[in-house]
């Protein structure tokens, strides 16, 4: 009988030891999982600086090749007017400061309106709306962002004037169309971007801002999707390199809020006086 | 105790009635009844029906505001089913289809008041979960609304996102 008790004691002790060991192992595994989760979160946060969070998640789960798809998106191209003259007038350190201020104000305005800065190309900036996630309001967002850039630039120029520095001006071109969105680049270095003719046309439209004398121009494909309360003015069609048909653009005069305050009569008179289009067409144009 | 979990699980496994269809306590009739019927037989159906009943019954935010928030989230997620349903709700709330279309397409319009504009902007920012945008918009909204309204707005966007995402994932029934 005593053997049986002894055996039971041994079995119970062994079970207790096994239980204790299992508990210890469980705690260890939990700590490891928690530390891995923290590490993963930190890694994702770091990666989010380089690409949108959704892209990073897909990169982790499906690999880099999975991130490529055709999308209809809105491209915005902004460029400094008279950069060469500015560069000749300012010393490098001051020039870098002025440029950084411009890049920052554009980035802030764009992010506030759900856009994404794609690439800095010298003094130009390529921006996308609706390239990552579906965005049915992408054209309104792009034009709102352009107007926000215009306002922020006005404030920035006041700062520059106070610092006895020259004012800067920019041109903005907006176009909507299809493109390939994905992680593009070499095996060693890739970036999330969009490629396709939509970007080229946005850049060409931006260049037309000098010709037409308006800082924000958009194409017909954007206008067709745009809130009719934005105040637009049609520009004459112009032949553009690489595009078969002459390109019709619209200058953005004011935002939705300004338009809402403006009486229809004033809009009518203003457009008619400037000889852009007959009043009947204005009504149709503004829907 | 964790070690005994598999034993407990095995012993209670026999009691569960997995795969058994769950019926609604009462047939959905209010707003989004058409959508809820798509979940007939699923345990999600009665839960969503109860949450929606409570939501529409609450007087804290207007039914029109809540329906517009649903509409914006459905539109942003490309959920045609919820969009059709919400168009019916908005019409019942006295919003003309053309005005509703203008509000949905451009998140603004002459028929929209400032509070509704802020609610829609917030609803829109919850679609793709950009934490910075959501936090900024939530702070703006909190300053504009009472605590009860704000909490209800959070509930509306949570429910609308769940329902519209589920509907977008379901095949359409004729």
**Local structure of A84: helix, strand or coil:** helix
Backbone φ and ψ for B16, nearest 5 degrees, come out as -70, 150
Q: How far is A1 from chain B (nearest CA, A)?
A: 30
- Per-residue pLDDT, B69: 94
Interface contact B3, partner A, CB < 8 A: yes
Number of residues written out for chain B: 174
B2 and A229 within 8 Å at the Cβ level: the answer is no
A59 located within any domain: no
Alpha carbons A210 and A155: distance in angstroms, whole number: 22
Q: Which residues of B touch A19 (CB under 8 A)?
A: 3
Task: Kindly report the CATH number assigned to the domain that includes residue A183.
Answer: 3.30.70.1230
Are residues A258 and A204 located together in one domain of the fold? yes
Spell out the per-residue pLDDT of chain A, length 287, in tens: 688 889 999 999 999 999 999 999 999 999 999 999 888 878 877 776 666 666 777 777 777 777 788 889 999 999 999 888 888 889 999 999 999 999 999 999 998 898 988 888 888 999 999 987 889 999 999 999 999 999 999 999 999 999 999 999 999 999 999 999 888 888 787 777 888 899 999 999 999 999 999 999 999 999 999 999 899 999 999 998 888 889 999 999 988 765 544 433 333 333 433 433 333 233 333 33
Q: How far is A135 from chain B (nearest CA, A)?
A: 7
For residue B138, count CB atoms less than 10 angstroms from its CB and return exposed for 0-12, middle for 13-18, buried for 19 or more: middle
CA trace torsion A179, A66, A135, B171 (10° rounding): 120
Asked if residue B79 has pLDDT above 60, the reply is: yes
Contacts of B133 in chain A (CB under 8 A): 114
> Is this complex scored with an ipTM above 0.85?
no
Residues A37, A109 within the same domain: no
| B2 inside 8 A of chain A by CB | yes
Nearest to A111 by CA among B136, B112, B48: B136
Q: Is A33 in the same domain as A72?
A: no
Nearest to A125 by CA among A112, A109, A139, A138: A109
What is the pLDDT at residue B5? 65
Region B22-29 average pLDDT: 76
Closest-CA residue to A81 (of A245, A177, A190, A213) = A213
B99-127 burial, b if ≥16 CB within 10 A, otherwise e? ebebbbbbbbbebbeebbbbbbbbbbbbb
Name the domain count of chain A: 2
CA-closest candidate to residue B53, choices B66, B65, B40, B43: B66
Least confident piece of the model among A27-41, A174-188, B7-21, B139-153? B7-21
* Residue ranges making up the domain that contains A241: 64-281
d(CA B32, CA B50): 12
State percent of chain B over pLDDT 90: 28
Asked whether residue A72 falls in the same domain as residue A45, the answer is no
Nearest to B116 by CA among B161, B52, B69, B73: B69
Predicted TM-score (pTM) of the model is 0.75
Kindly state whether residues A126 and A160 are assigned to the same domain: yes
Domain membership of residue A286 (yes or no) is no
H or E stretch covering A193: strand A190-195
């Amino acid at each position: 009988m005593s053997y049986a008790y002894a055996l039971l004691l041994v079995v119970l002790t062994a079970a207790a030891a096994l239980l204790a060991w299992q508990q210890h192992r469980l705690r260890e595994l939990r700590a490891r999982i928690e530390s891995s989760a923290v590490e993963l979160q930190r890694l994702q946060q770091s990666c989010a600086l380089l690409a949108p969070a959704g892209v990073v998640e897909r990169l982790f789960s499906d690999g880099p090749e999975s991130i490529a798809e055709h999308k209809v998106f809105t491209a915005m191209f902004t460029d400094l007017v008279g950069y060469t003259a500015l560069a000749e007038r300012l010393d490098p350190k001051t020039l870098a400061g002025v440029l950084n201020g411009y890049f920052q104000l554009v980035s802030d305005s764009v992010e506030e309106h759900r856009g994404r800065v794609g690439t800095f190309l010298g003094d130009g900036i390529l921006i996308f709306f609706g390239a990552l996630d579906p965005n049915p309001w992408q054209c309104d967002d792009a034009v709102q962002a352009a107007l926000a850039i215009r306002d922020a630039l006005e404030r920035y120029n006041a700062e520059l004037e106070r610092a006895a520095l020259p004012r800067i001006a920019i041109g903005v071109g907006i176009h909507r169309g299809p493109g390939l969105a994905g992680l593009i680049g070499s095996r060693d270095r890739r970036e999330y971007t969009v490629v396709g003719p939509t970007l080229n046309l946005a850049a060409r439209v931006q260049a037309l801002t000098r010709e037409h004398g308006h800082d924000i121009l958009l194409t017909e494909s954007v206008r067709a999707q745009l809130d009719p309360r934005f105040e637009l003015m049609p520009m004459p069609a112009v032949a553009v390199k690489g595009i078969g048909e002459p390109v019709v653009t619209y200058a953005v005069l004011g935002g939705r809020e300004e338009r809402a305050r403006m009486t229809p009569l004033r809009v009518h008179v203003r457009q008619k006086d400037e000889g852009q289009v007959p009043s009947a067409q204005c009504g149709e144009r503004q829907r | 105790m964790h070690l005994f979990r598999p034993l407990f699980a095995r012993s209670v496994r026999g009691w569960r009635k997995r795969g058994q269809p769950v019926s609604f306590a009462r047939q959905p009739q209010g707003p989004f009844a058409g959508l809820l019927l798509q979940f007939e037989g699923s345990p999600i159906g009665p839960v969503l029906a109860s949450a929606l009943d409570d939501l529409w019954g609450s007087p804290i935010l207007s039914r029109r505001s809540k329906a517009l928030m649903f509409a914006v989230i459905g539109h942003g997620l490309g959920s045609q089913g919820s969009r059709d349903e919400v168009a019916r709700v908005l019409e019942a709330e006295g919003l003309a289809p053309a005005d509703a279309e203008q509000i949905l397409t451009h998140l603004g319009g002459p028929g929209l008041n400032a509070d509704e504009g802020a609610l829609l902007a917030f609803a829109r920012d919850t679609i793709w979960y950009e934490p910075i945008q959501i936090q900024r918009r939530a702070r703006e909204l909190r300053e504009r609304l009472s605590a009860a309204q704000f909490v209800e707005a959070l509930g509306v966007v949570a429910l609308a996102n769940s329902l519209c995402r589920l509907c977008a994932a379901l095949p359409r029934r004729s």
